[in-house]
A = this chain, B = another copy of it.
Amino acid sequence: MDTKSLIIDIATKLFQQKGYKGVGLTEIIKACDISKGSLYHHFPNGKEELLIACLQYLNEEITNDIVDIFNRYPTTQEATNAMISKLIDNFEMEGTLIGYTFSSMVSEMASLSDPVRNACAKLYTEMQTIYYHKLVADGFSNDEASSTALMVTASIEGGMLLCLTQKRAEPLQVISQVLPKILETRRFKTSE
C-alpha cells in the first residue's frame, strides 16, 4: 500500500476513535512509521486537509458497504437489520465503534470548519439516499421514504453514541428491534 493511502487509513481510525483535536500529528506519523516531512508532502495544507481526505475515504468505504448490503436483501427492513448486525459484530470484536460513525468530528468541527462540516453532511446525505431508494422500492411514497430515511440515519447514529457510552452493544440491538415499526409498509391505517 502506498504511503498516502496508509496515512489516510490509519488517520481515519484514529480520528474516529479520538476526534480531531484528540489526535496529534506526532501520533499519526508514529502509527504510520513515517516522518513529518512525508506527511506534509502528501498533505501540504496539513491536518485539516488530511481530515477531509479521511472523510472522503470514509464516505466511499461506508457507501460501498451499505450499497452492498442493501443489494443482498429484498427489503429495507432486512437490509437495515443486517447492517446493524454488522455494526454490532464489529463493535464486539474491535471493542470500539469505528463503523459508520464520525460523530466526534461532526460535533467538534461543525461550528469551526465549513469544509469539514460539508464533508460530513455529504456523507450523511449519501447514506440517506441509499435508504430512500430502497424505501421507495418497498412501496413508500417519496415523502415518507425521505423522512423515514432520515429517521433511520439519526437513530443508528444516536444508537452508536449510546453504545459508546455504555460500552456495550445493546442499544443498537434494541434499535434494530424497534426500527421495523417505521420500516414496515403499512397494510392498514392505524388511526385517523
Contacts and interface: CB of A to CB of B under 8 A. Distances in A.
Contacts of A184: 190-191
A110 B165 contact: yes
Interface string A13-51: 000011101100000000000000000000000000000
A20 B186 CA distance: 44
How many copies of this chain does the complex contain? 2
Contacts of A191: 184, 187-188
Interface string A132-169: 00000000000000111011011111110110111100
A147 B187 contact: no
The contact size tier of chain A is 35 or more
Interface stretch (A1-9, A59-67, A68-76, A101-109): A101-109
A57 interface: no
Interface of A: 17-19, 21-22, 96, 101, 103-104, 106-108, 110-112, 117, 120-121, 124, 146-148, 150-151, 153-159, 161-162, 164-167, 171, 174-175, 177-178, 181-182, 184, 186-188, 190-191
A186 B190 CA distance: 7
Given A148-B178, A174-B150, A164 B110 contact: yes
A162 B181 contact: no
A84 B5 CA distance: 42
B19 A104 contact: yes
